[in-house]
Structure 1
């Protein structure tokens, strides 16, 4: 018997906002262009989709993020689409139970989106507050992306945290916003955890769209020590669907990553972070295909994965993977 097709899904990361603000002729219903188009989200029974606001660390980063902030607000206010902003525990629970809508919440993928490299940090915090106000809520912040910025080292670097990075963590204390480890260098991950502990900061931790480095050696994947810290701190680990982070020759690798996470104690942490984005203009031809066919769009991928796991993963664990772990995490940090 198949996993019920209507099992709710929560996914921690997609780049629909980047696509809609950056690609000429883009539209939220173009399933042929992006795996998280609205028809695919509806078909896949997404009950909460985290919408990343992404910027590279370069001049104009906050303007670029501002366009995505405004797009989030526009989507939330449109009456003729299925998206509904989720900003508190009550609206999250309504989204999980809804038969006709897809909940969405914003997140910031790279703190360069609210603070340019050369502007006063205080001005950056004001821009962060505007993003939070306009979007109603943000679920998490990634300090960096692939490269280094004023806050620390991205996953293509070996740099750790900076003074501004520590000040950002201090700013997040008690704000009920998680810090995301998916794009940290190993040194930055270590430094974030050390600063949180040293200063006794109340900051939840997650890896929104990362897999496991012992399964596939890639600096975007989590080393075991970071995995264990996230589990110990009752965080989340969202499994990423991109071929480059799974195994470039093995379509079954996504299942291997999930099973590995479960074997390492992530039963209450593991969830989905598919990382769907617009790939047609990506210059790295070595990454084509970006997704294995089984994982290339939200309408079918989640149910495919759950059905492949059902023979050796208990039904209750599949529910945790699909939505319950993420739901309980969000309810806990927002309450």
Structure 2
């Protein structure tokens, strides 16, 4: 078996801070509850992850989330370091710590003057989604149940994208409905990413991306983070749980992204601690086994380097200040 512990992981989306707080877990101690803690990050060679504040739907929720985020990340026992700049990735490797990137999942709590957005950027906000599968003053999200809403970005939403990108915040299009997605695509010249989304051609779920969306993200030199949530992997019963799904259910999405775009679009956005995942990826310690499977089924070490971290890192290099 290949010793693929060498493949560092940059996970594009996790909900661990809220989950750990709710479960009253000690992040520094290995647990079988949830998907992430420091020992399991070490076992999976996760070098950094985007830790989401969710939902960021009101000012009060954002403030509560920021309070929780900073208590969590700056707790010395948790072994984390906040990442604000590209050179911070090298610093975490030198320090032996794991990196944490601040993300707002939804922009509903941001005011129309963008004062809170600018303050959040100074506090380290580096990636952000406009909506979490709902309607707010900026955008419309993809709904989990039909009918889908057909409204896209508002005038304020168009201004929001320009303001966020000017600051150096990477726009996340996961959870946007198709009209909002295409509005973002039309107005941005910078890379965008779908932090945790899969291919709708493989699993017909509204949260997964169409081939046209995938090609558009590739055209913008962005990435799609493969999501491990069962409902988005389950081709036979989209939206339904099946703990017995295997690594091939993940590989099929990777294969499709590569086929219609290229290996350069594929990233990881596990959505760990956000929803249930198959036993094969029961937590973040399982990444080396996934790399083994891909190596045994046609992917090269260079491919896995790209999937595990370098593709997403390239997006940040092109969008961060």
Comparing 162-171 with 312-321, greater Cα deviation is found at 162-171
Indicate the residue corresponding to 1:13 in structure 2.
13
Match of residue 297, structure 1, among 283, 288, 303? 283
Unaligned runs of 5+ in 2: 235-239
Q: Does 1:327 align with 2:313?
A: yes
Give the C-alpha shift of residue 65 in structure 1: 2.1
When the two structures are aligned, how many residues end up with a matched partner?
A: 305
SS in 1 for 2:5: coil
How does 1:7-46 map onto structure 2 within 5 Å? 7-21=7-21, 23=22, 25-28=24-27, 29=29, 31-46=31-46
Question: Which whole-Å CA distance do the structure 2 matches of 1:79 and 1:56 have between them?
Answer: 26
Give the C-alpha shift of residue 98 in structure 1: 4.1
**TM-score, length-normalised on structure 1?**
0.85
Q: Does 1:179 align with 2:171?
A: yes
Distance change (3 Å), C-alpha of 1:111 and 1:30: farther
Indicate the residue corresponding to 1:246 in structure 2.
233
Match of residue 269, structure 1, among 262, 265, 271? 265
Comparing 160-169 with 218-227, greater Cα deviation is found at 160-169
Distance change (3 Å), C-alpha of 1:26 and 1:68: farther
Question: Which whole-Å CA distance do the structure 2 matches of 1:293 and 1:128 have between them?
Answer: 38
Indicate the residue corresponding to 2:201 in structure 1.
214
Give the C-alpha shift of residue 319 in structure 1: 0.9
Give the C-alpha shift of residue 69 in structure 1: 1.3
Question: Which whole-Å CA distance do the structure 1 matches of 2:305 and 2:109 have between them?
Answer: 34
Q: Does 1:4 align with 2:36?
A: no
Query: 4+ residue stretches of structure 1 with deviation over 3 A?
Result: none
Task: Answer whether contact 1:53 1:113 (CA < 8 A) is retained.
Answer: no
Give the C-alpha shift of residue 162 in structure 1: 1.3
Question: Which whole-Å CA distance do the structure 1 matches of 2:305 and 2:166 have between them?
Answer: 29
Task: Answer whether contact 1:255 1:305 (CA < 8 A) is retained.
Answer: no
Task: Answer whether contact 1:175 1:203 (CA < 8 A) is retained.
Answer: no
Indicate the residue corresponding to 2:84 in structure 1.
87
Distance change (3 Å), C-alpha of 1:54 and 1:30: farther
What's the C-alpha RMSD, in Å, of the aligned pairs?
A: 2.0
Match of residue 75, structure 1, among 72, 77, 84? 72
Question: Which whole-Å CA distance do the structure 2 matches of 1:321 and 1:41 have between them?
Answer: 17
Give the C-alpha shift of residue 81 in structure 1: 2.2
Indicate the residue corresponding to 2:119 in structure 1.
130
Q: Residue deviations 1:230-285, cap 9 Å, x none?
A: 11111111100000011155433111111111112231121110001255xxxxxx
Question: Which whole-Å CA distance do the structure 2 matches of 1:147 and 1:188 have between them?
Answer: 12
Question: Which whole-Å CA distance do the structure 2 matches of 1:216 and 1:110 have between them?
Answer: 24
Q: Residue deviations 1:102-138, cap 9 Å, x none?
A: 11111111002434xxxxx12xx2222232222xx22
Distance change (3 Å), C-alpha of 1:126 and 1:56: closer
Indicate the residue corresponding to 1:307 in structure 2.
292
Question: Which whole-Å CA distance do the structure 1 matches of 2:191 and 2:161 have between them?
Answer: 11
Q: Does 1:234 align with 2:221?
A: yes
Give the C-alpha shift of residue 73 in structure 1: 2.0
Give the C-alpha shift of residue 148 in structure 1: 1.3
Indicate the residue corresponding to 1:155 in structure 2.
142
Unaligned runs of 5+ in 1: 116-120, 197-201, 280-289
Question: Which whole-Å CA distance do the structure 2 matches of 1:102 and 1:8 have between them?
Answer: 11
Give the C-alpha shift of residue 30 in structure 1: 6.2
Task: Answer whether contact 2:190 2:220 (CA < 8 A) is retained.
Answer: no
Distance change (3 Å), C-alpha of 1:107 and 1:145: same
Task: Answer whether contact 1:210 1:220 (CA < 8 A) is retained.
Answer: yes
SS in 2 for 1:141: strand
Task: Answer whether contact 1:51 1:107 (CA < 8 A) is retained.
Answer: yes
Task: Answer whether contact 1:205 1:235 (CA < 8 A) is retained.
Answer: yes
Question: Which whole-Å CA distance do the structure 1 matches of 2:291 and 2:196 have between them?
Answer: 18
